[in-house]
């Protein structure tokens, strides 16, 4: 039985559809990452799941019981969950009291309260600051308090809304470690949102893509990154090469696509004449100075238009009648002497191409 399930969940705001027929199932112990651009409706969905707001239509089940509207069940169910809101605010009280609030509301004895809070503060490395007013702490520390007071409740379901938004890289990695720890040790069911698709990939084991109020694809992070269902998802998950074309031949899972006069071969099954996009991840493209005889069927000569370093890597823009982005190491740039204006051969395997039907 799923721990939480939604059926046709819709939310309207001023006549505008924020969420459209959301159907979500999260099993106990599962970790789901909701990814999607800003404004896609991620926060709205989490607020509905935490029963803070009431949906316009649709139902929510928690451990098999419908909890959508009945006031009493709602507040009881809410106490089985904990929600770290996107903008973490701390109460104007000590760090200790901030973490203790939720436990106090649950009527926990003084002794147990002390032990639980102290333990949690230890976990999030905030013991030294326990008597400080929480308002005086840094953004990263405040986020840690927010997570601490949520996990102190030992919730069955933990909802995290953009837990690392607006934090510095060190704080981000600390928070991610903390979340990884929770997943590892407590086996808590978690639903978290992020607009940072890499975080979605780093942390959870299941990803749902929410764009424009609709869940467009659910699956393992690998599925979503390599085989996005449509162009929008592909763009969001960072598939930089999305090349439009038409299927010209199709036989036994091998298709050829005509794009700007060039032919691309790919492993897929689409009928001839279908308008498609070919998605190629930039790291799957290899560059060479000469046309190497290789098993790769797709090899194109092109002129280097731009070389942009990104951390240890370089992003190379090549014009081979269609625009192609490749991601190579800095070392390769030196060895191959990749400079602007130079002609180069770009090669990618037929299996590296993901074909999506183009929507009209």
Interface with other proteins (CB under 8 A): 47, 50, 52, 75, 78-79, 81-85, 87, 89, 91-93, 101-102, 105-106, 149-150, 153, 159
What's the per-residue H, E or C state across 94-140? EHHHHHHHHHHHCCCCHHHHHHHHHHHHHHCCCHHHCCCEHHHCCHH
Closest approach of Cβ 330 to other proteins, in Å?
Answer: 44
Closest approach of Cβ 83 to other proteins, in Å?
Answer: 4
Closest approach of Cβ 89 to other proteins, in Å?
Answer: 5
Closer of 87 and 198 to other proteins (Cβ) = 87
Closer of 161 and 317 to other proteins (Cβ) = 161
Closer of 32 and 90 to other proteins (Cβ) = 90
First and final C-alpha spacing in the chain = 39
Cα-atom radius of gyration of the chain, to the nearest Å? Answer: 25
With both helix axes pointing from N to C terminus, report the angle between 139-151 and 169-186 in degrees, rounded to the nearest 10. 10
Closer of 43 and 201 to other proteins (Cβ) = 43
Closest approach of Cβ 153 to other proteins, in Å?
Answer: 7
Exposed, middle or buried by CB within 10 Å (0-12, 13-18, 19+), for 20?
middle
Closer of 137 and 326 to other proteins (Cβ) = 137
Closest approach of Cβ 357 to other proteins, in Å?
Answer: 41
CB 190 within 8 A of CB 31: yes
Structure-block tokens of residue 84 = 């770290």
């Amino acid at each position: 039985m799923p721990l939480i399930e939604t059926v046709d969940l819709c939310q309207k705001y001023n006549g505008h559809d924020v969420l459209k027929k959301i159907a979500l199932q999260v099993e106990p112990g599962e970790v789901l990452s909701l990814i999607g651009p800003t404004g896609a409706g991620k926060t709205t969905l989490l607020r509905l799941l935490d029963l803070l707001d009431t949906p316009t239509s649709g139902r929510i089940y928690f451990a098999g019981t419908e909890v959508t509207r009945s006031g009493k069940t709602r507040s009881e169910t809410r106490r089985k969950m904990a929600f770290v809101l996107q903008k973490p605010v701390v109460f104007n009280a000590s760090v200790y009291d901030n973490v203790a609030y939720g436990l106090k509301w649950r009527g926990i004895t003084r002794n147990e309260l002390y032990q639980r809070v102290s333990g949690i503060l230890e976990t999030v490395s905030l013991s030294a600051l326990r008597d400080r007013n929480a308002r005086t702490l840094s953004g990263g520390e405040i986020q840690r308090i927010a997570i601490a007071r949520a996990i102190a409740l030992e919730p069955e379901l933990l909802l995290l809304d953009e837990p690392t938004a607006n934090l510095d890289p060190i704080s981000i990695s600390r928070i991610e470690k903390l979340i990884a720890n929770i997943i590892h040790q407590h086996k808590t069911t978690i639903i978290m949102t992020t607009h940072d698709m890499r975080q979605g990939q780093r942390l959870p084991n299941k990803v749902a893509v929410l764009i424009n109020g609709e869940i467009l694809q659910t699956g393992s992070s690998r599925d979503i990154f390599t085989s996005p269902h449509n162009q929008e998802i592909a763009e969001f998950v960072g598939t930089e090469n999305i090349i439009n074309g038409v299927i010209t031949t199709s036989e036994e899972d091998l298709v050829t696509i005509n794009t700007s006069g060039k032919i691309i071969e790919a492993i897929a099954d689409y009928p001839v004449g279908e308008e498609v996009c070919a998605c190629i991840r930039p790291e799957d493209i290899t560059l060479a100075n000469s046309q190497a005889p290789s098993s790769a069927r797709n090899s194109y000569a092109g002129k280097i238009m731009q070389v942009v370093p990104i951390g240890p890597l370089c992003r190379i823009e090549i014009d081979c009648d269609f625009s192609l982005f490749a991601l190579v190491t800095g070392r390769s740039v030196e060895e191959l002497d990749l400079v602007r204006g130079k002609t180069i051969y770009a090669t990618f395997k037929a299996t590296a191409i993901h074909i999506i039907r183009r929507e009209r």
